[in-house]
Structure 1
Amino acid sequence: MQRRMRGWTWIGGPLLVVLGLLHAGGHPARAQSEPRVEARVSADSVKIGERFTLTLVAARAADRDVMFPSVDAGSAVFGDLHAVRRGAVRTRRSSTARRVDSVAYEVTTFALDSARVPVLPVRLASGGDTTVVGTPPRTVPVVSVVGPDAEALRTPAALIPFPRPAWVWGLLGLLTAAVLGGGAYGWWRWRTHDQDGPDAPDPERAYEAASAQLRRLERRHPSGPEAAKAFYVDLTEALRVYLVRRVGVRALEQTTAEVVAALRRRPEVREETIQRLRAVLEQADLVKFADAQPPPAESQAVLDDAQAVLDALEATRRRDEARATDDASSSA
Protein backbone atom coordinates (compact mmCIF):
# COMPACT_ATOMS: atom_id res chain seq x y z
CA MET A 1 0.00 0.00 0.00
CA GLN A 2 2.78 2.45 0.82
CA ARG A 3 4.46 1.72 -2.51
CA ARG A 4 1.21 2.49 -4.30
CA MET A 5 0.79 5.79 -2.43
CA ARG A 6 4.39 6.82 -3.25
CA GLY A 7 3.81 5.95 -6.91
CA TRP A 8 0.61 8.04 -6.94
CA THR A 9 2.43 10.96 -5.34
CA TRP A 10 5.22 10.74 -7.90
CA ILE A 11 2.74 10.76 -10.80
CA GLY A 12 0.02 13.00 -9.34
CA GLY A 13 2.31 15.89 -8.27
CA PRO A 14 3.31 16.98 -11.78
CA LEU A 15 -0.24 16.32 -12.96
CA LEU A 16 -1.63 18.79 -10.42
CA VAL A 17 0.92 21.40 -11.51
CA VAL A 18 -0.15 20.99 -15.16
CA LEU A 19 -3.83 21.24 -14.21
CA GLY A 20 -3.10 24.38 -12.18
CA LEU A 21 -1.42 26.04 -15.16
CA LEU A 22 -4.36 25.12 -17.39
CA HIS A 23 -6.77 26.58 -14.83
CA ALA A 24 -4.77 29.82 -14.79
CA GLY A 25 -5.35 30.23 -18.51
CA GLY A 26 -2.42 28.30 -19.92
CA HIS A 27 -0.31 31.47 -20.06
CA PRO A 28 1.72 31.73 -16.82
CA ALA A 29 4.20 34.20 -18.32
CA ARG A 30 1.44 36.48 -19.48
CA ALA A 31 -0.30 36.27 -16.10
CA GLN A 32 2.90 37.30 -14.36
CA SER A 33 3.38 40.24 -16.74
CA GLU A 34 -0.08 41.70 -16.03
CA PRO A 35 0.09 44.77 -13.73
CA ARG A 36 -1.51 44.51 -10.29
CA VAL A 37 -2.33 47.42 -7.99
CA GLU A 38 -3.79 47.49 -4.50
CA ALA A 39 -4.58 50.00 -1.75
CA ARG A 40 -3.61 49.34 1.88
CA VAL A 41 -4.55 51.28 5.01
CA SER A 42 -2.58 51.34 8.23
CA ALA A 43 -5.58 50.84 10.54
CA ASP A 44 -8.65 48.59 10.59
CA SER A 45 -10.77 51.54 11.77
CA VAL A 46 -10.17 55.26 12.34
CA LYS A 47 -11.73 58.17 14.18
CA ILE A 48 -13.09 61.29 12.56
CA GLY A 49 -10.19 63.64 11.79
CA GLU A 50 -7.55 61.06 12.77
CA ARG A 51 -4.61 60.79 10.40
CA PHE A 52 -3.58 57.40 9.04
CA THR A 53 -1.61 56.02 6.11
CA LEU A 54 -2.93 54.92 2.72
CA THR A 55 -0.37 52.98 0.66
CA LEU A 56 -0.71 52.26 -3.04
CA VAL A 57 1.30 49.30 -4.35
CA ALA A 58 1.80 48.58 -8.05
CA ALA A 59 3.47 45.44 -9.38
CA ARG A 60 4.40 45.93 -13.02
CA ALA A 61 6.79 44.98 -15.78
CA ALA A 62 10.28 46.44 -15.51
CA ASP A 63 9.95 48.38 -18.77
CA ARG A 64 6.97 50.41 -17.56
CA ASP A 65 6.93 53.68 -15.63
CA VAL A 66 4.36 54.07 -12.86
CA MET A 67 2.56 57.32 -12.00
CA PHE A 68 0.49 57.56 -8.82
CA PRO A 69 -2.28 60.15 -8.18
CA SER A 70 -1.24 63.62 -7.08
CA VAL A 71 -1.80 64.58 -3.45
CA ASP A 72 -4.04 67.48 -4.52
CA ALA A 73 -6.29 65.40 -6.78
CA GLY A 74 -9.23 66.00 -4.40
CA SER A 75 -12.39 64.02 -3.69
CA ALA A 76 -12.84 63.15 -7.37
CA VAL A 77 -9.96 60.67 -6.91
CA PHE A 78 -9.73 59.96 -3.16
CA GLY A 79 -13.46 59.86 -2.35
CA ASP A 80 -14.12 60.33 1.37
CA LEU A 81 -10.42 60.57 2.17
CA HIS A 82 -8.55 63.88 2.35
CA ALA A 83 -4.89 63.54 1.33
CA VAL A 84 -2.57 65.68 3.49
CA ARG A 85 0.82 64.78 2.01
CA ARG A 86 2.44 62.15 -0.18
CA GLY A 87 5.74 60.41 0.42
CA ALA A 88 8.39 59.44 -2.08
CA VAL A 89 7.85 56.57 -4.50
CA ARG A 90 9.79 53.46 -3.48
CA THR A 91 10.79 50.72 -5.93
CA ARG A 92 12.01 47.21 -5.30
CA ARG A 93 12.82 44.40 -7.71
CA SER A 94 10.77 41.22 -7.37
CA SER A 95 12.50 39.55 -10.34
CA THR A 96 14.57 40.48 -13.37
CA ALA A 97 11.40 41.38 -15.31
CA ARG A 98 9.17 42.70 -12.52
CA ARG A 99 9.23 45.76 -10.26
CA VAL A 100 7.08 46.71 -7.30
CA ASP A 101 6.46 50.43 -6.67
CA SER A 102 4.74 51.87 -3.62
CA VAL A 103 3.86 55.31 -2.29
CA ALA A 104 2.40 56.31 1.09
CA TYR A 105 -0.19 59.07 1.59
CA GLU A 106 -0.98 60.65 4.93
CA VAL A 107 -4.77 60.94 4.88
CA THR A 108 -7.71 61.72 7.12
CA THR A 109 -11.49 61.56 6.82
CA PHE A 110 -14.51 63.36 8.21
CA ALA A 111 -17.07 60.81 7.03
CA LEU A 112 -19.55 59.25 9.45
CA ASP A 113 -19.71 55.50 10.14
CA SER A 114 -17.49 54.57 7.17
CA ALA A 115 -15.18 56.21 4.65
CA ARG A 116 -15.43 55.20 1.01
CA VAL A 117 -12.12 54.61 -0.79
CA PRO A 118 -12.99 54.51 -4.51
CA VAL A 119 -11.08 52.95 -7.37
CA LEU A 120 -7.73 54.80 -7.28
CA PRO A 121 -6.17 55.23 -10.75
CA VAL A 122 -2.52 54.27 -11.27
CA ARG A 123 -1.03 55.06 -14.68
CA LEU A 124 1.53 52.76 -16.30
CA ALA A 125 3.45 54.21 -19.26
CA SER A 126 5.58 52.32 -21.78
CA GLY A 127 6.86 54.26 -24.76
CA GLY A 128 3.92 56.22 -26.15
CA ASP A 129 1.21 54.03 -24.57
CA THR A 130 -0.38 54.71 -21.20
CA THR A 131 -2.53 52.21 -19.30
CA VAL A 132 -4.70 53.11 -16.30
CA VAL A 133 -5.12 50.36 -13.69
CA GLY A 134 -7.48 50.85 -10.75
CA THR A 135 -7.26 49.53 -7.20
CA PRO A 136 -10.21 47.55 -5.86
CA PRO A 137 -12.60 49.84 -3.93
CA ARG A 138 -12.82 49.43 -0.20
CA THR A 139 -14.46 50.89 2.90
CA VAL A 140 -12.71 52.03 6.09
CA PRO A 141 -14.87 51.91 9.26
CA VAL A 142 -15.04 55.23 11.13
CA VAL A 143 -15.43 54.93 14.91
CA SER A 144 -17.68 57.37 16.73
CA VAL A 145 -15.89 59.85 18.98
CA VAL A 146 -18.76 59.75 21.49
CA GLY A 147 -17.88 57.61 24.50
CA PRO A 148 -19.84 54.65 25.90
CA ASP A 149 -21.61 56.90 28.44
CA ALA A 150 -23.34 58.87 25.68
CA GLU A 151 -26.75 57.93 27.09
CA ALA A 152 -25.95 59.99 30.17
CA LEU A 153 -25.65 63.18 28.11
CA ARG A 154 -28.46 65.62 28.56
CA THR A 155 -29.65 68.52 26.46
CA PRO A 156 -28.57 71.84 27.99
CA ALA A 157 -31.26 73.75 29.76
CA ALA A 158 -32.84 76.63 27.87
CA LEU A 159 -31.36 80.08 28.52
CA ILE A 160 -33.38 82.49 30.56
CA PRO A 161 -34.82 85.11 28.18
CA PHE A 162 -33.72 88.70 28.75
CA PRO A 163 -35.60 91.68 27.29
CA ARG A 164 -33.78 93.34 24.38
CA PRO A 165 -33.51 97.12 24.23
CA ALA A 166 -35.15 99.03 21.37
CA TRP A 167 -31.88 99.79 19.59
CA VAL A 168 -31.27 96.05 19.14
CA TRP A 169 -34.44 95.74 17.04
CA GLY A 170 -33.36 98.68 14.92
CA LEU A 171 -29.95 97.08 14.32
CA LEU A 172 -31.57 93.78 13.38
CA GLY A 173 -33.78 95.62 10.88
CA LEU A 174 -30.74 97.24 9.24
CA LEU A 175 -28.91 93.94 9.06
CA THR A 176 -31.93 92.26 7.48
CA ALA A 177 -32.20 94.99 4.86
CA ALA A 178 -28.46 94.69 4.10
CA VAL A 179 -28.71 90.91 3.71
CA LEU A 180 -31.70 91.18 1.38
CA GLY A 181 -29.98 93.86 -0.68
CA GLY A 182 -26.77 91.84 -0.90
CA GLY A 183 -28.73 88.77 -1.94
CA ALA A 184 -30.52 90.66 -4.68
CA TYR A 185 -27.24 92.09 -5.96
CA GLY A 186 -25.59 88.66 -5.89
CA TRP A 187 -28.50 87.16 -7.82
CA TRP A 188 -28.21 89.91 -10.43
CA ARG A 189 -24.46 89.32 -10.75
CA TRP A 190 -25.01 85.59 -11.07
CA ARG A 191 -27.54 86.10 -13.83
CA THR A 192 -25.18 88.44 -15.66
CA HIS A 193 -22.25 86.03 -15.31
CA ASP A 194 -24.40 83.10 -16.42
CA GLN A 195 -25.28 84.92 -19.62
CA ASP A 196 -21.66 85.87 -20.33
CA GLY A 197 -20.02 82.65 -19.01
CA PRO A 198 -18.45 79.77 -20.93
CA ASP A 199 -21.83 78.18 -21.77
CA ALA A 200 -23.21 81.37 -23.31
CA PRO A 201 -23.61 81.07 -27.09
CA ASP A 202 -20.94 83.22 -28.72
CA PRO A 203 -19.89 81.19 -31.79
CA GLU A 204 -18.47 84.13 -33.73
CA ARG A 205 -15.76 84.91 -31.18
CA ALA A 206 -15.14 81.44 -29.72
CA TYR A 207 -12.28 80.64 -32.10
CA GLU A 208 -10.63 84.04 -31.70
CA ALA A 209 -10.86 83.87 -27.89
CA ALA A 210 -9.39 80.36 -27.73
CA SER A 211 -6.56 81.22 -30.14
CA ALA A 212 -5.70 84.36 -28.16
CA GLN A 213 -5.50 82.32 -24.95
CA LEU A 214 -3.15 79.81 -26.61
CA ARG A 215 -0.95 82.64 -27.95
CA ARG A 216 -0.61 84.01 -24.42
CA LEU A 217 0.68 80.61 -23.31
CA GLU A 218 3.56 80.87 -25.82
CA ARG A 219 5.23 83.44 -23.56
CA ARG A 220 5.20 81.12 -20.55
CA HIS A 221 7.93 78.60 -19.72
CA PRO A 222 6.48 75.80 -17.51
CA SER A 223 9.72 74.57 -15.98
CA GLY A 224 8.52 73.79 -12.43
CA PRO A 225 5.69 71.48 -11.25
CA GLU A 226 3.31 74.28 -10.27
CA ALA A 227 4.04 76.24 -13.45
CA ALA A 228 3.47 73.10 -15.55
CA LYS A 229 0.11 72.43 -13.92
CA ALA A 230 -1.05 76.02 -14.42
CA PHE A 231 0.12 75.91 -18.05
CA TYR A 232 -1.83 72.75 -18.89
CA VAL A 233 -4.92 73.88 -16.95
CA ASP A 234 -5.10 77.05 -19.08
CA LEU A 235 -4.36 75.10 -22.27
CA THR A 236 -7.15 72.56 -21.76
CA GLU A 237 -9.54 75.29 -20.61
CA ALA A 238 -9.09 77.07 -23.96
CA LEU A 239 -9.91 73.89 -25.89
CA ARG A 240 -12.81 72.81 -23.67
CA VAL A 241 -14.48 76.25 -23.67
CA TYR A 242 -14.21 76.31 -27.47
CA LEU A 243 -15.82 72.86 -27.68
CA VAL A 244 -18.71 74.10 -25.52
CA ARG A 245 -19.31 77.35 -27.41
CA ARG A 246 -18.59 76.31 -30.96
CA VAL A 247 -19.02 72.54 -31.29
CA GLY A 248 -21.74 71.99 -28.70
CA VAL A 249 -19.87 69.38 -26.63
CA ARG A 250 -20.23 69.67 -22.83
CA ALA A 251 -16.48 69.44 -22.42
CA LEU A 252 -16.23 71.44 -19.17
CA GLU A 253 -17.96 68.68 -17.20
CA GLN A 254 -16.69 65.62 -19.09
CA THR A 255 -13.57 63.51 -18.83
CA THR A 256 -11.13 63.10 -21.70
CA ALA A 257 -12.70 59.79 -22.71
CA GLU A 258 -16.20 61.31 -22.69
CA VAL A 259 -15.09 64.25 -24.84
CA VAL A 260 -13.52 61.87 -27.38
CA ALA A 261 -16.67 59.72 -27.44
CA ALA A 262 -18.87 62.79 -27.97
CA LEU A 263 -16.75 63.96 -30.93
CA ARG A 264 -16.82 60.51 -32.52
CA ARG A 265 -20.61 60.74 -32.62
CA ARG A 266 -20.19 63.70 -34.98
CA PRO A 267 -19.36 62.37 -38.47
CA GLU A 268 -18.17 65.79 -39.66
CA VAL A 269 -15.16 65.71 -37.29
CA ARG A 270 -12.20 63.81 -38.74
CA GLU A 271 -10.68 60.94 -36.77
CA GLU A 272 -7.21 62.46 -37.16
CA THR A 273 -8.40 65.62 -35.38
CA ILE A 274 -10.00 63.55 -32.60
CA GLN A 275 -6.81 61.54 -32.03
CA ARG A 276 -4.72 64.72 -31.89
CA LEU A 277 -7.09 66.29 -29.35
CA ARG A 278 -7.04 63.10 -27.28
CA ALA A 279 -3.22 63.16 -27.13
CA VAL A 280 -3.26 66.79 -25.92
CA LEU A 281 -5.88 66.15 -23.21
CA GLU A 282 -4.19 62.95 -21.98
CA GLN A 283 -0.84 64.75 -21.70
CA ALA A 284 -2.55 67.47 -19.66
CA ASP A 285 -4.18 64.81 -17.41
CA LEU A 286 -0.76 63.30 -16.66
CA VAL A 287 0.58 66.69 -15.58
CA LYS A 288 -2.48 67.71 -13.55
CA PHE A 289 -3.23 64.41 -11.81
CA ALA A 290 -0.05 62.28 -11.93
CA ASP A 291 2.64 64.94 -11.26
CA ALA A 292 4.27 64.44 -14.67
CA GLN A 293 6.80 67.19 -15.54
CA PRO A 294 7.44 67.32 -19.29
CA PRO A 295 10.32 69.50 -20.54
CA PRO A 296 9.43 72.99 -21.91
CA ALA A 297 10.12 71.85 -25.48
CA GLU A 298 7.54 69.07 -25.16
CA SER A 299 5.01 71.50 -23.70
CA GLN A 300 5.56 73.82 -26.66
CA ALA A 301 4.89 70.91 -29.03
CA VAL A 302 1.65 70.13 -27.18
CA LEU A 303 0.68 73.80 -27.48
CA ASP A 304 1.26 73.64 -31.26
CA ASP A 305 -0.91 70.51 -31.45
CA ALA A 306 -3.67 72.28 -29.50
CA GLN A 307 -3.66 75.16 -31.99
CA ALA A 308 -3.74 72.68 -34.90
CA VAL A 309 -6.75 70.94 -33.35
CA LEU A 310 -8.46 74.31 -32.91
CA ASP A 311 -7.81 75.24 -36.55
CA ALA A 312 -9.13 71.91 -37.84
CA LEU A 313 -12.33 72.07 -35.77
CA GLU A 314 -12.99 75.66 -36.84
CA ALA A 315 -12.41 74.82 -40.52
CA THR A 316 -14.88 71.94 -40.26
CA ARG A 317 -17.43 74.15 -38.52
CA ARG A 318 -17.19 76.93 -41.10
CA ARG A 319 -17.44 74.46 -43.98
CA ASP A 320 -20.65 73.03 -42.51
CA GLU A 321 -22.10 76.51 -41.98
CA ALA A 322 -21.33 77.48 -45.59
CA ARG A 323 -22.94 74.28 -46.84
CA ALA A 324 -26.05 74.93 -44.75
CA THR A 325 -26.27 78.48 -46.15
CA ASP A 326 -26.00 77.21 -49.74
CA ASP A 327 -28.71 74.61 -49.10
CA ALA A 328 -31.01 77.23 -47.63
CA SER A 329 -30.45 79.51 -50.65
CA SER A 330 -31.14 76.66 -53.07
CA SER A 331 -34.38 75.68 -51.34
CA ALA A 332 -35.54 79.33 -51.30
Structure 2
Amino acid sequence: MLAGVPRTDRGRVIRQQIYTLEPTQTGDVIIDPFTVRFTTGRTGSEKAEQPAAEDSAAAEDSAAAEDSAADGRRSGADTEHNAETHVLETEPLQITVSGILGDAVPTLDDLRPAADPLEPPPLPSSGWTVALAALAVLAFVIAVVLKMRRQHVQEPQLSPQERALSELRSLMDSRLDDSDVKQFYVELTGIVRRYIERTTGIRAPEQTTEEILRETESRQLFDAADNERLTAFLESADLVKFAGFVPDTETIRTSTHRARTFL
Protein backbone atom coordinates (compact mmCIF):
# COMPACT_ATOMS: atom_id res chain seq x y z
CA MET A 1 0.00 0.00 0.00
CA LEU A 2 1.24 3.50 -0.94
CA ALA A 3 -0.28 6.52 0.88
CA GLY A 4 -0.36 9.78 -1.08
CA VAL A 5 0.12 13.29 0.33
CA PRO A 6 -3.19 14.80 1.54
CA ARG A 7 -4.49 17.65 -0.67
CA THR A 8 -7.28 20.25 -0.29
CA ASP A 9 -9.97 20.84 -2.91
CA ARG A 10 -12.68 23.53 -2.24
CA GLY A 11 -12.36 23.25 1.48
CA ARG A 12 -12.24 19.45 1.46
CA VAL A 13 -9.26 17.35 2.49
CA ILE A 14 -8.63 14.49 0.05
CA ARG A 15 -6.50 11.51 1.05
CA GLN A 16 -5.46 8.94 -1.54
CA GLN A 17 -4.17 5.37 -1.00
CA ILE A 18 -2.78 3.19 -3.79
CA TYR A 19 -2.80 -0.63 -3.49
CA THR A 20 -0.52 -2.84 -5.59
CA LEU A 21 -1.86 -6.38 -5.98
CA GLU A 22 0.31 -9.37 -6.89
CA PRO A 23 -1.78 -12.20 -8.41
CA THR A 24 -0.82 -15.80 -7.76
CA GLN A 25 -2.49 -17.24 -10.86
CA THR A 26 -3.34 -16.27 -14.40
CA GLY A 27 -6.79 -15.92 -15.95
CA ASP A 28 -9.88 -14.13 -14.66
CA VAL A 29 -9.51 -12.87 -11.11
CA ILE A 30 -12.16 -11.10 -8.99
CA ILE A 31 -11.01 -8.43 -6.55
CA ASP A 32 -13.21 -8.40 -3.47
CA PRO A 33 -15.07 -5.19 -2.52
CA PHE A 34 -13.33 -2.53 -0.40
CA THR A 35 -15.11 -0.99 2.60
CA VAL A 36 -14.63 2.75 3.30
CA ARG A 37 -15.89 4.47 6.45
CA PHE A 38 -16.17 8.31 6.82
CA THR A 39 -17.92 10.89 9.05
CA THR A 40 -20.02 13.93 7.87
CA GLY A 41 -21.04 17.15 9.76
CA ARG A 42 -19.30 20.46 10.60
CA THR A 43 -17.42 21.01 13.81
CA GLY A 44 -18.79 23.03 16.72
CA SER A 45 -16.38 25.94 16.11
CA GLU A 46 -17.67 26.40 12.55
CA LYS A 47 -21.27 26.50 13.76
CA ALA A 48 -20.39 29.05 16.43
CA GLU A 49 -18.72 31.53 14.05
CA GLN A 50 -21.80 32.05 11.83
CA PRO A 51 -24.34 33.08 14.57
CA ALA A 52 -21.72 35.26 16.27
CA ALA A 53 -21.09 37.25 13.08
CA GLU A 54 -24.81 37.79 12.32
CA ASP A 55 -25.71 38.93 15.89
CA SER A 56 -22.74 41.33 16.16
CA ALA A 57 -23.94 43.23 13.04
CA ALA A 58 -27.54 43.73 14.39
CA ALA A 59 -26.81 44.23 18.14
CA GLU A 60 -26.45 47.70 19.58
CA ASP A 61 -24.70 46.98 22.89
CA SER A 62 -22.10 44.52 24.16
CA ALA A 63 -24.50 42.63 26.41
CA ALA A 64 -26.63 41.49 23.50
CA ALA A 65 -23.51 40.40 21.57
CA GLU A 66 -22.27 38.28 24.49
CA ASP A 67 -25.65 36.57 24.88
CA SER A 68 -25.76 35.81 21.17
CA ALA A 69 -22.22 34.31 21.24
CA ALA A 70 -23.14 32.11 24.16
CA ASP A 71 -26.19 30.85 22.27
CA GLY A 72 -23.93 30.09 19.26
CA ARG A 73 -21.54 28.00 21.38
CA ARG A 74 -24.40 25.96 22.77
CA SER A 75 -25.70 25.41 19.23
CA GLY A 76 -22.22 24.24 18.06
CA ALA A 77 -21.98 21.74 20.89
CA ASP A 78 -25.31 20.27 19.88
CA THR A 79 -24.15 19.97 16.26
CA GLU A 80 -21.08 17.84 17.22
CA HIS A 81 -23.38 15.18 18.54
CA ASN A 82 -25.27 15.21 15.22
CA ALA A 83 -22.18 13.97 13.19
CA GLU A 84 -22.94 10.84 11.09
CA THR A 85 -20.67 7.93 10.12
CA HIS A 86 -21.16 6.49 6.64
CA VAL A 87 -19.93 3.22 5.11
CA LEU A 88 -19.28 2.79 1.39
CA GLU A 89 -18.45 -0.50 -0.29
CA THR A 90 -16.99 -0.77 -3.78
CA GLU A 91 -18.27 -3.17 -6.39
CA PRO A 92 -16.35 -6.40 -7.03
CA LEU A 93 -13.79 -5.87 -9.79
CA GLN A 94 -13.05 -8.56 -12.33
CA ILE A 95 -9.70 -8.45 -14.15
CA THR A 96 -7.79 -10.78 -16.45
CA VAL A 97 -4.23 -11.71 -15.45
CA SER A 98 -1.95 -12.65 -18.34
CA GLY A 99 1.23 -14.71 -18.03
CA ILE A 100 4.68 -13.60 -19.08
CA LEU A 101 4.34 -15.52 -22.35
CA GLY A 102 0.87 -14.19 -22.99
CA ASP A 103 -1.18 -16.45 -25.20
CA ALA A 104 1.87 -18.14 -26.70
CA VAL A 105 2.10 -21.92 -26.12
CA PRO A 106 5.59 -23.16 -25.11
CA THR A 107 7.17 -25.34 -27.76
CA LEU A 108 10.47 -27.14 -28.31
CA ASP A 109 10.45 -26.61 -32.07
CA ASP A 110 13.00 -23.81 -31.89
CA LEU A 111 15.60 -25.85 -30.02
CA ARG A 112 18.84 -26.38 -31.86
CA PRO A 113 19.95 -29.97 -32.54
CA ALA A 114 22.64 -31.59 -30.43
CA ALA A 115 26.16 -30.53 -31.22
CA ASP A 116 28.58 -32.96 -32.81
CA PRO A 117 30.93 -34.82 -30.41
CA LEU A 118 34.26 -33.19 -29.85
CA GLU A 119 37.16 -34.76 -31.64
CA PRO A 120 40.06 -35.83 -29.41
CA PRO A 121 43.23 -33.87 -29.94
CA PRO A 122 45.64 -35.50 -32.35
CA LEU A 123 48.41 -37.53 -30.80
CA PRO A 124 51.91 -36.16 -31.25
CA SER A 125 53.79 -38.00 -33.93
CA SER A 126 57.29 -37.14 -32.90
CA GLY A 127 60.01 -39.76 -32.84
CA TRP A 128 60.42 -39.47 -29.08
CA THR A 129 56.80 -40.44 -28.50
CA VAL A 130 57.11 -43.53 -30.65
CA ALA A 131 60.33 -44.54 -28.93
CA LEU A 132 58.86 -44.14 -25.46
CA ALA A 133 55.81 -46.18 -26.42
CA ALA A 134 58.03 -48.95 -27.77
CA LEU A 135 60.10 -48.99 -24.59
CA ALA A 136 56.96 -49.21 -22.46
CA VAL A 137 55.69 -52.19 -24.46
CA LEU A 138 59.09 -53.88 -24.26
CA ALA A 139 59.27 -53.40 -20.49
CA PHE A 140 55.80 -54.88 -20.10
CA VAL A 141 56.70 -57.94 -22.16
CA ILE A 142 59.89 -58.50 -20.16
CA ALA A 143 57.99 -58.25 -16.87
CA VAL A 144 55.42 -60.80 -18.04
CA VAL A 145 58.11 -63.23 -19.19
CA LEU A 146 60.02 -62.99 -15.92
CA LYS A 147 56.86 -63.55 -13.93
CA MET A 148 55.99 -66.64 -15.94
CA ARG A 149 59.47 -68.03 -15.43
CA ARG A 150 59.28 -67.52 -11.68
CA GLN A 151 55.97 -69.34 -11.60
CA HIS A 152 57.42 -72.32 -13.44
CA VAL A 153 60.49 -72.56 -11.21
CA GLN A 154 59.62 -74.95 -8.41
CA GLU A 155 61.37 -75.06 -5.10
CA PRO A 156 63.28 -78.28 -4.53
CA GLN A 157 61.13 -80.69 -2.60
CA LEU A 158 62.69 -81.62 0.73
CA SER A 159 62.10 -84.98 2.30
CA PRO A 160 60.44 -85.13 5.74
CA GLN A 161 63.83 -85.92 7.25
CA GLU A 162 65.52 -82.96 5.51
CA ARG A 163 62.78 -80.56 6.57
CA ALA A 164 62.94 -81.78 10.18
CA LEU A 165 66.73 -81.47 10.34
CA SER A 166 66.54 -77.97 8.81
CA GLU A 167 63.99 -76.91 11.42
CA LEU A 168 66.18 -78.38 14.17
CA ARG A 169 69.22 -76.41 12.96
CA SER A 170 67.19 -73.18 12.94
CA LEU A 171 66.01 -73.88 16.49
CA MET A 172 69.53 -74.50 17.75
CA ASP A 173 70.80 -71.32 16.04
CA SER A 174 68.11 -69.26 17.77
CA ARG A 175 69.58 -70.08 21.24
CA LEU A 176 66.04 -70.24 22.58
CA ASP A 177 67.14 -72.68 25.30
CA ASP A 178 69.13 -69.87 26.95
CA SER A 179 66.15 -67.49 27.25
CA ASP A 180 63.02 -69.68 27.46
CA VAL A 181 63.73 -73.35 28.02
CA LYS A 182 60.06 -74.33 28.21
CA GLN A 183 59.31 -72.78 24.81
CA PHE A 184 62.46 -74.44 23.50
CA TYR A 185 61.05 -77.85 24.42
CA VAL A 186 57.70 -76.95 22.84
CA GLU A 187 59.45 -76.15 19.55
CA LEU A 188 61.71 -79.22 19.82
CA THR A 189 58.85 -81.68 20.34
CA GLY A 190 56.88 -79.90 17.59
CA ILE A 191 59.63 -80.71 15.09
CA VAL A 192 59.52 -84.42 16.03
CA ARG A 193 55.70 -84.55 15.99
CA ARG A 194 55.51 -82.96 12.51
CA TYR A 195 58.14 -85.44 11.26
CA ILE A 196 56.01 -88.35 12.52
CA GLU A 197 52.94 -86.87 10.79
CA ARG A 198 54.74 -86.44 7.45
CA THR A 199 56.21 -89.96 7.49
CA THR A 200 53.33 -91.99 8.95
CA GLY A 201 50.16 -89.94 8.52
CA ILE A 202 49.50 -89.94 12.28
CA ARG A 203 48.14 -86.55 13.43
CA ALA A 204 50.89 -86.39 16.03
CA PRO A 205 50.82 -82.58 16.56
CA GLU A 206 47.23 -82.90 17.85
CA GLN A 207 47.73 -86.01 20.03
CA THR A 208 49.08 -86.57 23.51
CA THR A 209 52.30 -88.45 24.18
CA GLU A 210 50.38 -91.57 25.25
CA GLU A 211 48.25 -91.54 22.09
CA ILE A 212 51.30 -91.19 19.85
CA LEU A 213 53.22 -94.02 21.53
CA ARG A 214 50.21 -96.32 21.59
CA GLU A 215 49.49 -95.85 17.89
CA THR A 216 53.11 -96.18 16.72
CA GLU A 217 53.59 -99.38 18.73
CA SER A 218 50.28 -100.92 17.65
CA ARG A 219 51.01 -100.20 14.00
CA GLN A 220 54.70 -101.12 14.37
CA LEU A 221 55.79 -98.00 12.50
CA PHE A 222 59.28 -97.88 14.02
CA ASP A 223 61.72 -100.49 15.24
CA ALA A 224 62.24 -101.19 18.94
CA ALA A 225 65.22 -98.86 19.28
CA ASP A 226 63.38 -95.93 17.72
CA ASN A 227 60.29 -96.61 19.86
CA GLU A 228 62.45 -96.62 22.99
CA ARG A 229 64.26 -93.46 21.93
CA LEU A 230 60.94 -91.70 21.07
CA THR A 231 59.38 -92.69 24.40
CA ALA A 232 62.30 -91.33 26.43
CA PHE A 233 62.35 -88.12 24.41
CA LEU A 234 58.61 -87.32 24.67
CA GLU A 235 58.29 -88.24 28.37
CA SER A 236 61.30 -86.10 29.40
CA ALA A 237 59.96 -83.19 27.34
CA ASP A 238 56.55 -83.46 29.07
CA LEU A 239 58.25 -82.98 32.44
CA VAL A 240 59.58 -79.63 31.26
CA LYS A 241 56.41 -78.49 29.50
CA PHE A 242 53.81 -79.60 32.05
CA ALA A 243 55.51 -80.53 35.36
CA GLY A 244 57.63 -77.41 35.81
CA PHE A 245 60.91 -79.31 35.63
CA VAL A 246 63.91 -77.08 34.82
CA PRO A 247 66.54 -79.08 32.89
CA ASP A 248 70.24 -78.39 33.10
CA THR A 249 72.56 -78.02 30.14
CA GLU A 250 73.36 -81.73 29.99
CA THR A 251 69.67 -82.69 29.99
CA ILE A 252 68.97 -80.24 27.15
CA ARG A 253 71.89 -81.66 25.17
CA THR A 254 70.61 -85.20 25.72
CA SER A 255 67.09 -84.30 24.54
CA THR A 256 68.47 -82.60 21.44
CA HIS A 257 70.66 -85.64 20.66
CA ARG A 258 67.67 -88.02 21.01
CA ALA A 259 65.61 -85.87 18.63
CA ARG A 260 68.39 -85.70 16.03
CA THR A 261 69.07 -89.45 16.28
CA PHE A 262 65.38 -90.28 15.90
CA LEU A 263 65.13 -88.07 12.82
**Does the pair score TM above 0.5?**
no
TM-score by length of 2: 0.38
The structure carrying a bigger strand percent of its residues is: 1
Larger Rg: 2
TM-score by length of 1: 0.30
